[in-house]
Structure 1
Amino acid sequence: MAELNEMGSLNFICLGIFLSCWIGYARFAHFMAKRTASLSSVLHVHRINWMRRMLQREVRVGDAALIANIERNVNFFASSCVLIIAGLLTAITATEKIKDMLGTVSFTAGDTLPQLELKLMVLLGIFIYSYFTFTWSMRQFGFASVLIGAAPSPDDTTVTANDRRSMAIYSAKVIDQASRSYNNGLRAFYFSMAVLSWFIGPYIFIGASLLVTTVLYQREFLSSSLKALKQAENVGEKVFTDDKELYRR
């Protein structure tokens, strides 16, 4: 109880606001992606179109290479998480030295040992979560590679048009799920930047959490990249008006 009091109620309030921003935005983005254009929803349409065209190609080497390239990007972040986790574990064992070092910086909060340990543990939890989401994303991209390898050839007469349609939709669904895990990991990286501001002060931490949420919203729903993706192949709003079952995520 004494340690909880020493950590301060303001720190727990800040942590609650931070988690509300992170979890709340993740749920909001997933909810809105089913109802309006966003990066994830428009890209899902392009993934379906990709898989449809993949089924029309005799040679799928390029498709496999694209999946492998995306998987390498995910692997980079997963490997980074391992290094960051190792660094944070080392830092937790040397909190007294870190406290003395931060004490020499004029604009830091001047935390007690329990407060500093709390902040480092929050960072550690974020990157452990990121590691699991990135590795799960890698596995799902591996599943997508298997589906590309198992896809029927264009001249296979034993496969019906409905079979090909289902193959395209569900292959795109697997890639979409892998990309969603990748996005969750990236989002954790963004919010970890907000946690760094917690070492300066609790109110700056609250402001940084709100700022990260605003940046994520702008990029997901209002960015110029989204406008370009909507214009490509005239995707536009037909994602949400034509054949909703086809594009249901």
Structure 2
Amino acid sequence: MIWIDRLNSFSPYDYGALSLLVVGWFWIGWRIEHPPAHKPSVSLIMAEFRHDWMKQMVTRQPRMFDAQLIGSFRQGTTFLASAVMIAIGGGLALIGNLEPLESVASDLTLEHVPTFVWEIKILVVLLFLSNAFLKYLWAHRLFGYSSVMMAAVPNEPEEPLTYPRADQAADLCNTASRSFTRGMRATYFALAAVAWLAGAVPLIIATLLTIAMLYRREFASQSRTTLLKVPPDTAS
């Protein structure tokens, strides 16, 4: 009965907004990773470029550029994982002391909201941040695997294992990048979930804006147009 009474503290708009947040998160992720064949996402286009990168790496001597590039990927994942961990710590600390949040909210809404409601809203943000943190950690590990596989690629193009090893390195790098991208999406939706603190309508607006932003970047951005440009045939 206590839990039923607590759940009644949320309005139907709250449940609808939360459902939109979760469904939108799953939908945009599925759409980006499984786009129609005639309209690939930036993520899938970049996956093909990573395979081209590993093929070019075979004949590049020395491979310092490749090592620096994969190292920058690991630094980026480390930075974001650290930032998310700090945000998670801040959220847990806020749950332990909700008085500042309650005072600000009371000034804005002029109504009393049960402490349980604030805890649930913050927990939703923390769940998205936790998912992002785990994705960043796994991406960091996979980029490490990619660097080892890149080092295992033979220097001679004529060797039988050269290009199969290069394809393996590209596949590992693509898997790491996919995990990294999923972590970024979870971070975006965590920021959208913060809007729930202001109410259901702000959460709906923030969710729709987040979905629209991710869709535009993957399917209608200037960077995608650049990636799809076919270079002129310099041989002719």
Normalised TM-score (structure 2) = 0.90
Paired residue for 2:170?
172
Matched, 1:146 2:144: no
What do the CA deviations read for 1:176-209 (whole angstroms, capped 9, x no partner)?
A: 1111111111111211221122122201211211
Which of 216, 223, 231 aligns to 2:214? It is 216
| Residues 60-209 of structure 1: pairs in structure 2 closer than 5 A | 60-105=63-108, 111-154=113-156, 159-160=159-160, 163-209=161-207
* C-alpha displacement of 1:229: 1.3
> CA distance change for structure 1 residues 43 and 120 in 2, over 3 Å: closer, same or farther?
same
Paired residue for 2:29?
26
What is the identity percentage for the equivalent residue pairs of Structure 1 and Structure 2?
Answer: 27
Number of equivalenced pairs: 229
Contact 1:109 1:201 in 2 (8 A): no
Contact 2:125 2:191 in 1 (8 A): no
Paired residue for 1:4?
7
Paired residue for 2:46?
43
Cα distance in 2 for partners of 1:129, 1:150 equals 32
| Residues 232-247 of structure 1: pairs in structure 2 closer than 5 A | 233=231
* C-alpha displacement of 1:29: 1.4
Contact 1:55 1:151 in 2 (8 A): yes
Q: Which amino acid aligns with 1:213?
A: I
Cα distance in 2 for partners of 1:232, 1:82 equals 41
Contact 1:55 1:164 in 2 (8 A): yes
> RMSD across aligned C-alpha pairs, in angstroms?
1.9
* C-alpha displacement of 1:116: 0.8
What do the CA deviations read for 1:186-236 (whole angstroms, capped 9, x no partner)?
A: 1112112211221222012112111110110010011110111122647xx
Normalised TM-score (structure 1) = 0.86
* C-alpha displacement of 1:170: 2.1
Q: Which amino acid aligns with 1:88?
A: G
Contact 1:109 1:200 in 2 (8 A): no
What do the CA deviations read for 1:113-156 (whole angstroms, capped 9, x no partner)?
A: 1211111000111111110000000000000110111110126x
Paired residue for 1:243?
none
Paired residue for 1:57?
60
Paired residue for 1:229?
227
Q: Which amino acid aligns with 1:214?
A: A
> CA distance change for structure 1 residues 109 and 43 in 2, over 3 Å: closer, same or farther?
farther
What do the CA deviations read for 1:34-73 (whole angstroms, capped 9, x no partner)?
A: 6532211111111111100111123212101100011111
What do the CA deviations read for 1:81-120 (whole angstroms, capped 9, x no partner)?
A: 11001100000011234212321235x8863212111110
Unaligned runs of 5+ in 2: none
